[in-house]
Structure 1
């Protein structure tokens, strides 16, 4: 049957009886031209009765009295009064009629045409010469001008004086250092590749795509050993695999393994499993059961525990800052506190900072006791100096809108620490709902949207079931790094959420060389189809 169809209901039946209306809860039959599937939902997009109630009816209009004055050789005058306010207006000079003079009734007919204004004509007085001619267009012009003047006069008493806000010119800072390089990674392998490729700062987080190649590493199952099986891998029921859990830092060795319950590891349609880090660890030597099925809302976690720990330790070992990128949509704000301690030490696993994409999370972090720095992400859509200066009161650095041009960026960078996205296929839209899963319940593989011009937009799903629509072409500014440096931007960011390990390292190294040497050895065309975004064609 046809799904995308619609009609205007001109008749419906209850049984065999034609009816115009039906009570709530009634079952009606509506004739359709197209056949539809049984059980398809029906949506009402227009209700004629509801719209009729919204129509403006019986408006009480304000009566106005008019006085029309016209003498041959003098300007035509019109006075309009609503008893509280009065205006006077005048037009061109009246002339003597050569054949047919204008009558008072003809003038009255034109003056009463107040249309959809709030006024209606009351008494109309005349002071005109006999045998006079005035063009109808002149009368209409006088009426319109007079009504507009009266309306503005009535509105004037409701206007309140307000002082204009004082906008300071801002304090400019002279910058002489080159920008640092940040990479937003999409997997633990991508994270390590970014560190090894020369990134100064790497972001990790939850927006990991599951129906694309990059994703956080699942527990390994290839080389498992068991005391009971003598080194053989267990054969499990359908939909299950068994994997050895790793001992978490600080876990007491020597604990019994015989009474430890298996740990659930969530597995979302068609993707590798991910460890639940709700604090449920099994001791070394125990086995962990991994099952198919999605997360409940309360079971969602930001990032896999072992990967997170490994990333923090690996970054510190290499001298690279590791920031935790908080998702744009956060269900439980208190879970963020799991990623830092109030008194941060080198031995704990708190990130070096946070990347924040919405104001609610920013407010929460500022109310906590953590002193971890914050980077404002691009969904804040920062376009002007006032926004830059305001958000820098609550953050270490702000990411400018990807819709700014190089010239517009150069006008902002001197007012504080700024960051620009220069590479990657970052999301144009994010939805809390799993749109793809409804269409492909058994696993979608690669999904895209194709517009009428033939552009293909990849559609990805993260571990929380959220849907991301990515840009049709990958952003690349590698050849324009010298121009970006001239703008004074403090940080260049690579969005590597869809990259594998090799591509992440290759691109990170290319930008590292371009920043350090102010020269570009590779071109964007070496990485495939690309776009320069709005850097050379803004939206303002």
Structure 2
């Protein structure tokens, strides 16, 4: 068995570096054009260069999303953009539209192509067709079971890879191809501007009975009938590996750096532990703890095992029990002083958990807080302010300080 790639989202440069430092083998991100997260920070060309250089210095890969369904005007400048991505060292582009695929084959024939889940690949013949068009990797539709994926993999050429989502938000529409947002708000999800109307609260009203609300709700306030739970496959790493999936993909380009760090760490540890000794592999509950502390909805295994209860009717809100309050920017071993960049308000005496790329999390207390002038402070109220603390525990740059909400 080959160890699968762990592929993480990178909504901006900080998240890219976080994902790689915490164990991702590759990241995927959106550049300035043609990606399905119009409201993410996304990357300028200069940021792309810096991110790719950083990833390559760690022997990691960067995939750029060009996965919209473009209208004619969206194609303006496509050739130049593709050349630019190739020249700055992108390892692959993630695509769904045949026109973009054709153009990429003509303009940058050596740039690797990955077929987006938006393309609805649910059978092996479709995969073979796209592979013949120059596509190296198929991101399979989320609607496939593990049994189907295993059969899918067995019938495609060895040179064709499979990538599958294993964690994160699930779209109510088939492979994410939704018209609801465009219809209700004028924001086209297939061009990167989804308003997520599947998370709205609904009641059912029949056309000729405008004041009669039919009982399709979970409580008297209505129902989030289209609101999916989040996908989570952390407990099923052996099954994912044995299905032959080449790349295990985490959703979340709009999520926080804390989410990226914690989720990547959980899956990195689980995958590595499995490959150390597959015969004696056991699931460790701490990995689920890593996944329940960052913002998330209720979890489901999605379509992998035919689970019926994939919807979350009570609320569309995320569970947010923990916040990131700071990121360590430096530590002096001689003085025991750590330099911290604020992320949420915190106070002297607060007990916080240290999230780090390697090793278990541990708890410290924020003692002797001081501002940049060295003056004692009671709290750190300003966004991204720099302050120091004293701790006997050796911290490392990039460690995250997280705190339970009261």
State the TM bucket, normalised to the shorter chain. Answer: 0.5 to 0.7
The answer to whether the 8 A contact 1:186-1:209 is kept is no
Residue matched to 2:92: 353
Residue 511, structure 1, aligned to residue 250, structure 2:
no
Provide the C-alpha distance between the structure 1 equivalents of 2:19 and 2:124, rounded to a whole number of angstroms.
31
The alpha-carbon deviation at position 494 of structure 1 amounts to 0.6
Provide the C-alpha distance between the structure 1 equivalents of 2:196 and 2:144, rounded to a whole number of angstroms.
31
Structure-to-structure mapping, 1:206-285, within 5 angstroms: 206-208=35-37, 210=39, 215-216=40-41
Residue 419, structure 1, aligned to residue 160, structure 2:
no
Provide the C-alpha distance between the structure 2 equivalents of 1:410 and 1:378, rounded to a whole number of angstroms.
17
The alpha-carbon deviation at position 180 of structure 1 amounts to 0.7
Residue matched to 2:201: 450
The secondary structure found in structure 2 opposite 1:504 is helix
Q: Give 1 or 2: higher helix fraction.
A: 2
Give me the TM-score of the superposition, normalised by structure 1: 0.43
Residue 336, structure 1, aligned to residue 78, structure 2:
yes
Provide the C-alpha distance between the structure 1 equivalents of 2:144 and 2:3, rounded to a whole number of angstroms.
20
In 2 relative to 1, CA 194–430 (structure 1 residues): closer, same or farther, beyond 3 Å? Answer: farther
| Larger Rg over CA atoms | 1
In 2 relative to 1, CA 435–306 (structure 1 residues): closer, same or farther, beyond 3 Å? Answer: farther
RMSD between superposed Cα atoms in Å: 3.1
Provide the C-alpha distance between the structure 2 equivalents of 1:515 and 1:404, rounded to a whole number of angstroms.
22
The alpha-carbon deviation at position 332 of structure 1 amounts to 2.9
The alpha-carbon deviation at position 508 of structure 1 amounts to 0.9
The answer to whether the 8 A contact 1:419-1:492 is kept is yes
How many residues align structurally? 255
Provide the C-alpha distance between the structure 1 equivalents of 2:183 and 2:98, rounded to a whole number of angstroms.
24
Give me the TM-score of the superposition, normalised by structure 2: 0.56
In 2 relative to 1, CA 451–411 (structure 1 residues): closer, same or farther, beyond 3 Å? Answer: farther
The alpha-carbon deviation at position 342 of structure 1 amounts to 8.9
Q: Unmatched 5+ residue regions in structure 1? A: 1-175, 218-302, 439-444, 458-469
The alpha-carbon deviation at position 329 of structure 1 amounts to 2.7
The answer to whether the 8 A contact 1:190-1:499 is kept is no
In 2 relative to 1, CA 424–316 (structure 1 residues): closer, same or farther, beyond 3 Å? Answer: same
Structure-to-structure mapping, 1:56-455, within 5 angstroms: 176-205=1-30, 206-208=35-37, 210=39, 215-216=40-41, 303-330=43-70, 331-341=73-83, 348-393=87-132, 394-414=134-154, 415=156, 416-427=160-171, 428-430=176-178, 433=182, 436=185, 448-452=199-203, 453=217
Provide the C-alpha distance between the structure 1 equivalents of 2:13 and 2:264, rounded to a whole number of angstroms.
15
Per-residue CA distance 1:481-534 (angstroms, 9 max, x = gap)? 221111111111011123100111110111111111124442255555122111
Per-residue CA distance 1:37-68 (angstroms, 9 max, x = gap)? xxxxxxxxxxxxxxxxxxxxxxxxxxxxxxxx
The answer to whether the 8 A contact 2:83-2:107 is kept is no
- Runs (4+) of structure 1 exceeding 6 A deviation are none
